[in-house]
Amino acid sequence: MNPKIAAFLCTHAPATPCLVLDVDTVEQNYRRLLGAMPLARVYYAVKANPAAPILDRLVSLGSSFDAASFEEIEACLAAGAAPDRISYGNTVKKESAIKAAFEAGVTMFAFDSEPELRKLARSAPGARVYCRILVENKGAEWPLSRKFGCEAKMAVELMKKAAEWGLDPYGISFHVGSQQTRTDAYQAAIGQVAMIFSDLRDAGVTLRMVNLGGGYPVRYRAEVPGIDDFGAAIMGAMAEHFGNALPEIVIEPGRFMVGDAGVVESEVVLVSRKGEDDPVRWVYLDIGRFGGLAETEGEAIRYAFRTPHDGGEEGPVTIAGPTCDSTDTLYEKSNYRLPLALESGDRVQLLSTGAYVTTYASQAFNGFRPLAEHYI
């Protein structure tokens, strides 16, 4: 575990459940990404963790930002980000939010449909727009399915319309799904984008930017390819498809930037069995699906645990949250095993929980307070 976080937990014994996040690790991750993809511009996906200390640090490092809402844009501006370093990356926006963003100086917007493009033409005239396309999400542990993006053929037509309607047809984006474990997912998507660039060039529209989205994974229980492997695969595919005419490259990492920077500390509320001979113990924690661990839905993201009894004899467990809702069961099928010595009152840590946890926590489901946060 991160020694700075371990020392904080030991010295302060903060009330649980809480997230402790080391902002220096975020800075290291930002630098590692730039090392792996030196030609890319990083737009941090604010949704992964919008805490002010993270945004402040990234502004000081010269990062740009991918915002999902006007509220996230406001958070970036409050941290000192220049509006031309913010991309409004959600393809589903209220027109009032587009207008507010444009008035605040934001000039870069995503879309994936004609009605959204119309809104942009009306409320953000002349803005740089990029069209998100649908791509394969195979290999992603938290896939984004078909909710966002359009088919390549439609993207070509929409980009022509963008030019006709007085917008700046800037580029194409995709997202290969979050916690993407396969480097070839990006390679296939880059091939699709290159064909769109070429079709549009033939039609007299020259795009300038490829947005590779997020997806870069964090190590939870299983090993994943390193960021250098993703960088090599991506830059290889860009060179193969674009040769010397490389467009601007944008990446929107969320999970990779903050995931391994954070640790959730939780208290074991109860360890019990459903029958005397039942080998499986139920371990109830003071954090669950509604306390921020939303990505345990379908046991998709499988966090690693640390306990005070690590190294001792282990047995199978089902791990659940504290609320009176049966869906607040985290892991039943993923073969989790925890030490037999684990008991009520023990403090356990869930590793690499810096991304997509704090903002998923409910206000007060069953009366429980939202997750406390400490940035160190």
Answer yes or no: 324 catalytic: yes
Task: Identify the active-site residue in 10, 76, 150, 324.
Answer: 324
Record the tokens describing residue 302, joined without a space.
Answer: 């499988």
Residue 56 · residue 44 · CB < 8 Å = no
Residues between 63 and 92 with contacts to ligand PLP, criterion CB under 6 A: 66, 89
Least distance in angstroms from the C-beta of 4 to ligand PLP: 23
- Shorter beta-carbon distance to ligand PLP: residue 169 or 214: 214
Least distance in angstroms from the C-beta of 95 to ligand PLP: 19
Least distance in angstroms from the C-beta of 66 to ligand PLP: 5
| Rounded Cα–Cα distance for residues 252 and 370 (Å) | 27
Span interacting with ligand PLP, options 17-25, 149-157, 191-199, 254-262, rule CB under 6 A:
254-262
- For position 303 contacting ligand PLP by CB under 6 A, the verdict is no
Alpha carbons within 13 A on the beta-carbon side of 41: 17
One-letter amino acid for residue 256 of the chain: F
H or E element in which residue 19 lies? strand 18-21
Number of neighbours of residue 144 by Cβ within 10 angstroms: 19
- Shorter beta-carbon distance to ligand PLP: residue 255 or 374: 255
One-letter amino acid for residue 216 of the chain: Y
| Rounded Cα–Cα distance for residues 340 and 283 (Å) | 11
Q: Please identify which residue in the block is written with the tokens 């390193």.
A: 226
CA Rg, the chain, in Å? Answer: 22
Residues between 101 and 120 with contacts to ligand PLP, criterion CB under 6 A: none
Least distance in angstroms from the C-beta of 177 to ligand PLP: 7
Least distance in angstroms from the C-beta of 110 to ligand PLP: 7
- Shorter beta-carbon distance to ligand PLP: residue 16 or 64: 64
| Rounded Cα–Cα distance for residues 221 and 238 (Å) | 31
- For position 291 contacting ligand PLP by CB under 6 A, the verdict is no
- For position 253 contacting ligand PLP by CB under 6 A, the verdict is yes
Binding-residue pattern over the window 191 to 220 for ligand PLP, x denoting contact by CB under 6 A? ----------------------xxxx----
- Shorter beta-carbon distance to ligand PLP: residue 142 or 336: 142
Termini Cα distance of the chain: 15
Q: Is the dihedral of CA 281, 284, 288, 290 positive or negative?
A: positive
Query: Phi and psi of 248, rounded to 5°?
Result: -60, 140
The footprint of ligand PLP (CB under 6 A) covers 45, 48, 66, 89, 175, 178, 213-216, 252-256
| Residues with catalytic roles | 324
